[in-house]
Amino acid sequence: MIGDRTARQLVVLLLALAVAAFGAPGAARAQQLPPTVAAVIDYQRVLREAAAARSIREQIEGRRKAYQEEISKEEQRLHEADKAFAKQRSVLTPEAFAEKRREFEQEVAEVQRLVQERRRALDDVSAEALNEVKKALIEVVTSIADERGFNLVLPSSEVLFFSRRIDVTEEVLAKLDARLPDVRVSQATD
């Protein structure tokens, strides 16, 4: 009977002979892959500087200011109601005071809910508009990759070192701005 060590050596020898005779599994596939032709893009810069992205930020900021004015008016109204309520404390029965306090707290909760709804609605329409920019960005990058023969495009923030000659950020920005100069942010559902 063959010992365990000898059996293992025999299996290793047979595998080595099979690899030598038939090639390593996947070696044929590796030989068929094209050479890597890479480019890099400063993705964050594109999302910061693209005309459509700037347009989105301006629209969202305008809406945020309008919402903030509306909320400030509500806060002022609540502040005035609280002052009036405090003056009534001495003339109201404890039960009437408790009822008015409960009503006031409901109004405060409603304003807080309104603030949260406005913030969520702005976040939603902003994300929707930015997704339109990202979709156009991918189309532009794909087009440039096809034109120039790139088969790999990486975000520059993920690459330790690269030659500036393979940085296509400027070209992407120019083509993205030409393709999508503006995005209209949809109306937030209030």
Over the stretch 80-90, which tens digit does the pLDDT of each residue have?
988 888 888 88
CA–CA separation, 174 vs 140, rounded Å?
Answer: 10
CA–CA separation, 173 vs 156, rounded Å?
Answer: 14
Domain boundaries, the chain: 1-29, 34-179
Over residues 102-161, the pLDDT tens digits come to 998 999 999 999 999 999 999 999 999 999 999 999 999 999 999 999 999 999 999 999
Higher pLDDT, 39 or 33: 39
Could you tell me the two tokens for 3? Answer: 């010992």
CA–CA separation, 143 vs 39, rounded Å?
Answer: 13
Could you tell me the two tokens for 68? Answer: 């903030």
Q: Rounded mean pLDDT of the chain?
A: 86
Largest CA distance in the chain: 106
State percent of the chain over pLDDT 70: 82
pTM of full prediction above 0.85: no
Over residues 66-78, the pLDDT tens digits come to 999 999 999 999 8
Length of the chain: 190
pLDDT category of residue 9 using cuts at 50, 70 and 90: low
pLDDT value at residue 84: 85
CA–CA separation, 50 vs 16, rounded Å?
Answer: 56
Could you tell me the two tokens for 178? Answer: 């030409």
Over residues 174-185, the pLDDT tens digits come to 999 999 999 999
Percentages (nearest 5) of helix, strand, coil residues in the chain: 75, 5, 20
Question: By three-state DSSP, how is residue 68 classified?
Answer: helix
pLDDT value at residue 62: 94
| pLDDT for residue 96 is more than 50 | yes
